[in-house]
Structure 1
């Protein structure tokens, strides 16, 4: 049995213990953690929130801390291929046996305390409890924890020993839970800001920046906006990554990240400035470890080049803000080239606006859907919306692999985007493409 198959069994067990659906709030997880000796109080934390870029930022900061010699837990979501991606210690995924062992402990506690069965934590809350238990057992120096959804009522906001909060870019997403306006969504994110805790915001428009500073003032926090205290800019973007510089305290330093795109300069700079803020408590962080940490960052599914001949790229962009960054990167790398886009999106996303942004490219769209996923928009519906925004070269496929196979061409570029679930599905099934691409 493969590790992925073992994690599938683990996930099925997990679902039988979890409550249904998404139900934001901290009461269930707070109650549950009290039955497992409150592991969330036993380790230092960097809390990373935001709409887009928080995963890249978390991965980069974790890499810097690891290269500085610290034992680092990284907790992120969702996973792409294997559930084990959600929690790593020094970039090594925690094993399925460790997850299963911890789940059995929880199952026994639930059997002994009926109140936990009557009002069980949600799926994400239960995963978060398990992760916190394992992080505490590992006795890490620090954990980099990415919020799941929003901030104020996200399960990760139960954490206590927050040493630093990083807020990546904020855009419109998950409106059914966070509100319809950018201001409402920002309020949910900014609610994680803690008293006397350093907080760095990547920055937004003037109104959102002012909202951040006002929240910092009311929270008695120590907050700043990224471009108010450092300067950064991309120097070069290509299929190998992004070269950029950061000027801080009068010193200019050059960096390279394997993550591709000018937007990754901003994400990496947020992580670098986070590392600067941590130096007092983590004195092994220095310029060398920051540069090597950025260069050694590992993060799948974000403008990930899986084949160069033909060119096949996977990107998890799934909302208008992320689509804009994707389009800008494609234009920068491939100029006026024709782009073939394999696209699947969830029904609850702003599909029309995302397609409007993609329509700015010279592109053909191969509309597809995620098999056996009710949330996935049907390919014919996706095609209909694409027509409405003026995209003319369109086709539909029930299976993403068929769409990829039809799109591949040695003279053109194929990019798969629209959903992290799409990226995960393709990565799981890359072997079906091995005769068509140069590398896996």
Structure 2
């Protein structure tokens, strides 16, 4: 892979704080002040939080706005193949020279002070956004919401909360209500908030926060609904009914993400709803791979997904049930911080076998042996494999007609870098 100067700068940025995650706003606020407050000079902001679906929903919002001729900055995380994916300037991935320039400026402004990698790179994104004309800025929360580095924007145009579920309990709390409280921390005084379908416990917390902030609430099941009917996406709110194509992003869970995106566009009074659901692109979310690894196992299908929590496992299982029946094997690698059993349990009913791998180059990978043991405990036949490509080949040799690589965005990034570029 080509070595970029930005890689060296980003590597240095990982050494500026002893922790990868240390939730607070003080450090990023200090750096943004030193940079002249670029967060106050952004084009109108749509801020998206949630446990699952926030990336897909943001991609659909962007597709809808761009489908109507608008230009959008977008900030997402983590990246898959290269860091540049996190920062999209007026519709295009940031170029190497522009990235190195804003990273250098952030390093110089920060000096020797401690700051996490996510905080300083978020400041770099804001700096790039503030200095490049666009119509909209779309921000995806990194972790949580209330203390996330993206939550320094004082008054976004719209807040969006996608489905909330259990994940990152060590940082956000051990109950759904506590986690929802962190996500609801992006709600600002008087700023409208669009909320996807939620568990009642999470919805109660979000609604209470919206009421306290006098933020107009646009919630699934109250102000809008979206469902699949007759092979179409039917969306309805107080303004009327839309009969739209099904989302081009596969999986039944994308119905609610598409509805959330359409609701956001309707509240903004901008964008093209049909473009939102039919033109969105979001890699490693039930992505059908076509690169050299897929070509080597043709005619067997090769799919990739980065979901990694119990809700993502359930969504994957539902998606697989909708595909034409084929013997399905999983190639799975996960982090040791995740609810592995919770992710695997829904998949046991739809997969014939699991091939466990360690995630290459990832210090927090769960060893393949442990992943295989979790799979067996969940009711899956499982074996270990030394690498992704060997696991895929072994799956096809064992009769798989469909192979799904899943369990981690870090594993997905490895696959996209090594087999799709």
- TM-score, length basis structure 1: 0.89
2-structure distance, mates of 1:18, 1:40: 22
Q: Distance in 1 between matches of 2:322 and 2:212?
A: 41
What number of residue pairs does the alignment pair up?
Answer: 411
Match in the other structure for 1:240: none
Distance 1:275 1:26 in 2: 29
Q: Distance in 2 between matches of 1:207 and 1:298?
A: 32
> 3-state SS of the aligned residue for 1:124?
helix
Structure 1 partner of 2:74: 74
1:298 aligns with 2:281: yes
Q: Which moved more, 1:8-17 or 1:394-403?
A: 8-17
How far apart are the structure 2 equivalents of 1:19 and 1:46? Answer: 31
Deviation at 1:234, TM superposition (A): 2.2
Change (3 A) 1:109 1:7: closer
Structure-1 residue corresponding to 2:320: 330
Instruction: Identify the range of structure 1 (319-328 vs 218-227) with the bigger mean alpha-carbon deviation.
Output: 218-227
CA contact (8 A) 1:370 1:421 kept: yes
How far residue 319 of structure 1 moved from its aligned partner, in angstroms, is 0.3
Q: Aligned pair in 2 of structure 1 residues 236, 54: CA closer, same or farther (>3 Å)?
A: farther
Q: Which residue of 1 aligns with 2:295?
A: none
Deviation at 1:372, TM superposition (A): 2.6
Q: Distance in 2 between matches of 1:185 and 1:52?
A: 13
Separation of aligned partners in 1, 2:277 and 2:156: 22
- Check conservation: 2:31, 2:109, Cα contact below 8 A: no
TM-score, with length taken from structure 2: 0.93
Residues 319, 350 of structure 1: 8 Å contact kept = yes
Distance in 2 (CA, whole Å) between partners of 1:356 and 1:17 is: 39
Whether the aligned pair in 1 keeps the contact of 2:103 and 2:121 (CA below 8 Å) is: no
Residue aligning to 2:265: 275
| Contact 2:155–2:188 (8 Å) recurs in 1 | no
1:334 is displaced (CA, Å) by: 3.2
Distance 1:236 1:319, change over 3 A: farther
SS of structure 1 residue aligned to 2:186: coil
Q: Distance in 2 between matches of 1:68 and 1:386?
A: 46
Give distance in 2, aligned partners of 1:7 and 1:402: 32
Hey, what's the Cα distance between the residues in 2 that align with 1:272 and 1:97?
35
The within-5 A match list for 1:136-215 is 136-215=130-209
The equivalent position to 2:253 in structure 1, one of 263, 267, 271, is 263
Give the Å deviation of 1:17.
4.5
1:54-69 matches, cutoff 5 A: 54-69=54-69
Please list every run of 5 or more consecutive structure 2 residues that lacks an aligned counterpart in the other structure.
291-297
3-state SS, counterpart of residue 281 of structure 2 = coil
CA distance in 1, matches of 2:228, 2:91: 26
Alpha-carbon offset, residue 304 of structure 1: 0.3
Q: Structure 1 CA distance, aligned partners of 2:351 and 2:108?
A: 57
CA positional deviation for 1:236: 7.1
User: What SS is found at the alignment partner of 1:359?
Assistant: helix
Partner SS for 2:249:
coil
Is 419-428 or 220-229 further displaced after alignment? 220-229
1:398 CA drift (Å): 2.6
